[in-house]
Structure 1
């Protein structure tokens, strides 16, 4: 759906509230079709971000992992390697 939204479940350390908020913000931006809402739409936009972040945090708190937690560093390196191999990496 949106490349900027990353998996937040089953990482060590767990996702921070900033990461949850960033994912919610990207989701609302995608749905709304704008990165900056008009003044008239700002309250609804911010309310949606807050509600989605809240629901996301509840989801993450309740999910049960059956595999060991993933390392953020290892996953970031895998992502860089995929980007390099596909020619999308720009340093």
Structure 2
């Protein structure tokens, strides 16, 4: 599941709050062992609080990171990933 969390730093345009929250959600699902779309009602509040806390920490980190490398283009990086996947699974890109 964590393999679905993508790097969010040094992209143009910068990561959106939805992308940051999606990464936080994937992390909390992995750590908590929650495989369902939503946790049980008994755990919902703790789950939501953890997602929000991690999303805030992630946004704080992204806001304060610096890089001397040029910003990456999302479309180009996605095309590279598709090409790697096609090569790995022997499929046409």
TM-score bracket, normalised by the shorter chain, equals: over 0.9
Q: Secondary structure in 1 aligned to 2:39?
A: coil
- Aligned partner of 1:13 in structure 2 is 13
Which runs of 5 or more structure 1 residues have no equivalent in the other structure?
Answer: none
User: How many residues are paired up?
Assistant: 91
Cα RMSD (Å) of the superposition?
1.8
Of the three residues 73, 76, 83, the one matched with 1:74 is: 76
81 and 66 in structure 1: CA distance in 2 versus 1, 3 angstrom threshold: same
Moved runs in structure 1, 4+ residues, more than 6 A?
A: none
Report the TM-score when normalising by structure 2: 0.92
Shift of 1:22: 0.1
- Aligned partner of 2:50 in structure 1 is 48
**More helix per residue: 1 or 2?**
2
Report the TM-score when normalising by structure 1: 0.94
Which runs of 5 or more structure 2 residues have no equivalent in the other structure?
Answer: none
Q: Does structure 1 residue 85 correspond to structure 2 residue 87? A: yes
- Aligned partner of 1:60 in structure 2 is 62
